[in-house]
Homo-oligomer: A and B are copies of this chain.
Amino acid sequence: MGREIVTLYMDDLPKYWYNIQPDLPKPLPPPLDPLTREPVKPERLEVLFAKELVRQEVSTDRWIPIPEEVREVYSLWRPTPLIRATRLERALKTPAKIFFKHEGVSPPGSHKPNTAVAQAYFNMKEGTERLTTETGAGQWGSALAFGCMSFNLKCTIYMVRASYEQKPYRKTLMKIWGADVVPSPSDRTEFGKRILREDPDNPGSLGIAISEAITDALTSERTKYSLGSVLNHVLMHQTVVGLEAKKQLEMIDEYPDYVVGCVGGGSNFSGIMWPFYYDVVSKKAEKEVEFVAVEPTACPTLTKGIYTYDHGDTARLTPLLKMYTLGHDFIPAPIHAGGLRYHGDAPTLCLLAREGIVKARAYNQVEIFEAGTLFSRTEGILPAPETAHAIKAVIDIALDCEKKGEEKVILFNMSGHGYFDVAAYEAYLNGSLMPYEYPEDEVKKSILKLFQLYPWLRELSD
């Protein structure tokens, strides 16, 4: 009787992060300098990131030790529970078993602090005194504020001005945790000042905020920059999720047929998926596992994007990365899952998708809020709109199992709670949500523009 919750103790907290790089089906295409067309040397990244993080970024070590000090902060909310969604199963009348890893229990309410805490730690060890970053709705900003507070680092967060004014809650959370939150564009950087001179009411964008955060780090003493997704070291820090889940499923003698997560840049999905992928490549998996990445139809990177080199940011400050992309100047519709509005995806994830190891699905936001609401009505927890994408896919898979009478095991990453997104649910309940679907033609136009910018890219794309 009752719900299955598998709990681990502090001692079960992983001692190593899993690094997928030695186990990729092909070597990862290197980041390219758009001017020289040459692979970017890791040393060049050290002006922005701590040395140890750059080392992790390119490391081919399979297991990267998690420092005790990081594990100690993790222990404020980790190991997170693995929960069987019994009441959801019953509502769906499915023979499938649905498990989720509840990352929403962290203080900032999502998986993001898994990497924020690690990044703050390695920076602190190398003498960094301040970290800068950008944030949209504030999910990542609040996680980094929390990480910096844990190791007494200062933290400056450039928050898109429109969100700063309209979504004050996470901003306050960042301030409670001691961060300096700056509406962007700001007068803190030359770049910001220039924009404000031309347009004092500029609402800002993630692209502008990234540029400000990077500029601030580059022009200040003992200051580095921090990123919340896409990069290898960031994704690697998230593998505590999958490593714990594996141990928890083992305890109850289960193994997943499906591992599901939503994808913005790819970090929460990679975090739960990589350790199971390791089982597959090392022939330790008990059965075939299907890895399902879920994205919004408004930002269909994996399902409609093109696999080519592109910049990671709108402002073209980052090197070119080989990935599925909708074009770096793509501006997604204003869907409520702000964390999934990214034109590209992590290069490792894109490689796995390209090789057919990861399957992608896309859903519109009306469907996903319907799924999130059903989840909350059965399991209680209100999922973040991002997470509701994963839940929609899980429900579809479970209904399919019902049709086929298959007793599959589905595991998904409950990447965050939706208590700061209640207004979005209100919009769903009163029927004012637009579904939004991004057409494939538009992607092609965007990529043509990219090829006009870098004609030599055509050869490198496929």
Contact = CB atoms under 8 A, between A and B. Distances in A.
Contact of A422 (B3, B4, B77, B169): B169
Contact of A377 (B105, B176, B379): B176
A368 to B, nearest CB: 14
Given A76-B87, A76-B379, A173-B422, 16 more contacts: A1-B71, A2-B10, A3-B76, A5-B9, A5-B10, A7-B9, A76-B380, A107-B380, A146-B380, A168-B422, A168-B426, A172-B425, A175-B429, A176-B376, A176-B377, A419-B419
Interface string A1-41: 11111010110010000000000000000000000000000
Contacts of A146: 380
A58 interface: no
Contact of A420 (B172, B176, B419): B419
A72 B426 contact: no
A3 B107 contact: no
Interface in A423-456: 423, 425-426, 429
Contact of A1 (B72, B76, B176, B422): B72
A162 interface: no
A2 B77 CA distance: 11
Contacts of A376: 107, 176-177
A106 interface: yes
Interface of A: 1-5, 7, 9-10, 13, 68, 71-72, 75-77, 87, 105-107, 109, 146, 149, 168-169, 172-173, 175-178, 373, 376-377, 379-382, 419-420, 422-423, 425-426, 429
Contacts of A76: 3, 87, 379-380
Nearest to A420: B419
Which of A2, A71, A75, A106 has the most CB atoms of chain B within a 10 A radius of its CB?
A2
A149 B87 CA distance: 12
Contacts of A380: 76-77, 106-107, 146
Nearest to A175: B429
Q: For A5, A10, A149, A177, which residue has the most chain B Cβ atoms within 10 angstroms? A: A5
Contacts of A373: 176
30 contacts: A1-B72, A3-B75, A3-B76, A4-B10, A5-B9, A7-B7, A76-B379, A76-B380, A105-B105, A107-B376, A107-B379, A107-B380, A107-B381, A107-B382, A109-B419, A146-B380, A149-B377, A168-B422, A168-B423, A172-B422, A172-B429, A173-B422, A175-B426, A175-B429, A176-B373, A176-B382, A177-B376, A177-B377, A178-B377, A419-B419
Nearest to A81: B7
Nearest to A171: B426
Contacts of A3: 10, 72, 75-76
Contacts of A149: 377
A72 B84 CA distance: 13
Contacts of A420: 419
A2 B71 contact: yes
A425 to B, nearest CB: 6
A263 B373 CA distance: 33
B176 A429 contact: yes
Contacts of A169: 419, 422-423
